[in-house]
Structure 1
Amino acid sequence: MLFLSMLLLGATIGFVGAGGGGVVITLLVVGFGVPIHQALAVALGSMAFTTLSGAVSHYREGEVVPRTGFVIGAGGLVGALIGAVISNHIESGNLSLFTGLMLESSAFLLYLRIYQSSWLEQHIHVRAELLTGRPLYIYGSLTGLVCGILAGAFGIGSAAYIQIALMVVFGVPLLQAIGTTMMIIVPISISGGIGYLLYGQFEPVIFLQTLVALSVGSYFGAKLTHLAPRAVLRFFIVALPAVGGLIMVLFR
């Protein structure tokens, strides 16, 4: 039943092109009663594999800023390990609440980026050129550390936060921000997953079922993306984390 549910979820994620780490956590915790810490470990481990292939593809297309991604990713690697340690000292009920709130905040940021892009352009200054030199290493390390801690503690890749930071602080264009975000999430996911593994929270059977089902489902779902109206895709990109977060908050 878990495999079939994840297969369907993977197809949905692939179809709408949305990140599904948070929804995976919600399904595992609320739908199948998996302990929240184990669910976070599974979500992070799955993201490591799914984002790696995406990052490689974007890199080959020239849609990655390697140095920026490396600096932020290095900070994220350290932060995710710290976040995993913090998470394992948080009581399950509170952790579910915090994870749900993180999902809601991600949905809000996605809503602003998708539906209120003109408002964002008016109120938030986007850097016109790439940040380089010493400022890159200082701001990049700090940004990676913070996003890594959030991802490691709450099992979510922080993609919405990273994308906006890349455009606003680091001057990365939108198309390259998407690919660079994937590059950054890879070390964050691996490091966070290792952190949970060290605490004995990694459940290999659940992980394998989730990873295989999501990979297969998203592959076939992505092939149907062109059939959906753009408005439908935009709606579900925001709705998936919003609904997932609401369920986590109400039914934790």
Structure 2
Amino acid sequence: MLFISMILLGAVIGFVGAGGAGVTITLLTVGFGVPIHTALAVALASMTFTMLSGAYSHFREHEVVVKVGAIIGGGGVAGALLGAAVSDHMPSDDLSFMTGLMILSSALILYVKLYHADWLNHHLHGRRTLLTGRKLYIYGIPTGIVSGFLAGAFGIGAAAYIQIALMVIFGVPLLQSIGTCMMIILPISASGGLGYLVSGHLDMWIFLQTLAGLTVGAWIGAKMTHLAPLPLLKASIVALPTIGGGIMMLFH
């Protein structure tokens, strides 16, 4: 049942293209009674493989700003390991509540980006050129640490936060921000998953079923994305993490 459910969820994630980690955590904990720490470990470990595929694809299309991604991702490794260590000492109820809250906050950011892009562009005056030199390290490493901590502690990729930071602080264009974000999340999810593995929270059987189901389902769902009306696609992108985060907070 877990494998079949992950195929169905993967199809939805592949169709929508966002919010997968949070909903995966919700399905594991609320749907199958998996302990929250194990669910976070599985989500991060699974994310490593999906980000590897996505980042490589974007890299081949020259849609990754490698230096920016490497610096932020490097800081993210330290943050993810710290986040996983902090999460390990948090009570399950508190961790579930905070994870749900983080998923809902990412849904809010997605909503603003999709439905109020003009307002966002007006109020967030992003750089028009790429950030370089010493400032890239001064801003990049702390950004990575914070993003990595959020991902490591609460099992989500923090993609919504990272993409906005890339555009506003680092001057990365929108199209390249997507691929660069995937490059950043790759070391974050790998190190966070490793942190949970060391602490004994990663259940390999649950992980393998989750990864296989999501991979198959996402491939199916991605084939349907171009067939969907744009309003339905936008609504689905916001609805997926909203439902996942809401359920997580209600049943924590």
TM-score bracket, normalised by the shorter chain, equals over 0.9
- Structure 1 contact 17–233 (Cα < 8 Å) conserved: no
Q: Which residue of 1 aligns with 2:47?
A: 47
1:155-177 CA distance string (max 9 Å, x none): 00000000000000000000000
- CA distance in 2 between counterparts of 1:77 and 1:90 reads 20
CA drift of 1:224 comes to 1.1
1:20-50 CA distance string (max 9 Å, x none): 0000000000000000000000000000000
Matches within 5 A, 1:17-28: 17-28=17-28
Q: Which residue of 2 aligns with 1:163?
A: 163
**Counterpart residue identity of residue 250, structure 1:** L
Q: Which residue of 2 aligns with 1:250?
A: 250
- CA distance in 1 between counterparts of 2:19 and 2:73 reads 18
Worse-matched range after superposition: 224-233 or 172-181: 224-233
- CA distance in 1 between counterparts of 2:140 and 2:55 reads 19
**Counterpart residue identity of residue 160, structure 1:** A
Matches within 5 A, 1:111-190: 111-190=111-190
- CA distance in 2 between counterparts of 1:99 and 1:62 reads 33
**Counterpart residue identity of residue 53, structure 2:** S
Q: Which residue of 2 aligns with 1:103?
A: 103
Q: Show structure 1 runs of 4+ deviating over 3 A.
A: none
- CA distance in 2 between counterparts of 1:68 and 1:239 reads 31
CA drift of 1:251 comes to 0.8
The TM-score, its normalising length taken from structure 2, stands at: 0.99
1:166-219 CA distance string (max 9 Å, x none): 000000000000000000000000000000011100100000000000000000
Q: Does 1:233 align with 2:198?
A: no
Is the partner of 2:111 in helix, strand or coil?
A: helix
- CA distance in 2 between counterparts of 1:158 and 1:17 reads 14
CA drift of 1:19 comes to 3.2
Matches within 5 A, 1:83-98: 83-98=83-98
- CA distance in 2 between counterparts of 1:122 and 1:139 reads 22
CA drift of 1:138 comes to 1.0
* Unpaired stretches in structure 2, ≥5 consecutive residues: none
- CA distance in 1 between counterparts of 2:146 and 2:247 reads 25
- CA distance in 2 between counterparts of 1:71 and 1:245 reads 30
Q: Which residue of 2 aligns with 1:7?
A: 7
- CA distance in 1 between counterparts of 2:202 and 2:91 reads 17
The alignment-based identity, stated in percent, is: 66
- CA distance in 2 between counterparts of 1:107 and 1:79 reads 22
1:45-103 CA distance string (max 9 Å, x none): 00000011000000000000000000000000110000000000100000000000000
The TM-score, its normalising length taken from structure 1, stands at: 0.99
Is the partner of 1:29 in helix, strand or coil?
A: helix
**Counterpart residue identity of residue 116, structure 1:** H
Q: CA-atom RMSD, angstroms?
A: 0.5
Is the partner of 1:87 in helix, strand or coil?
A: helix
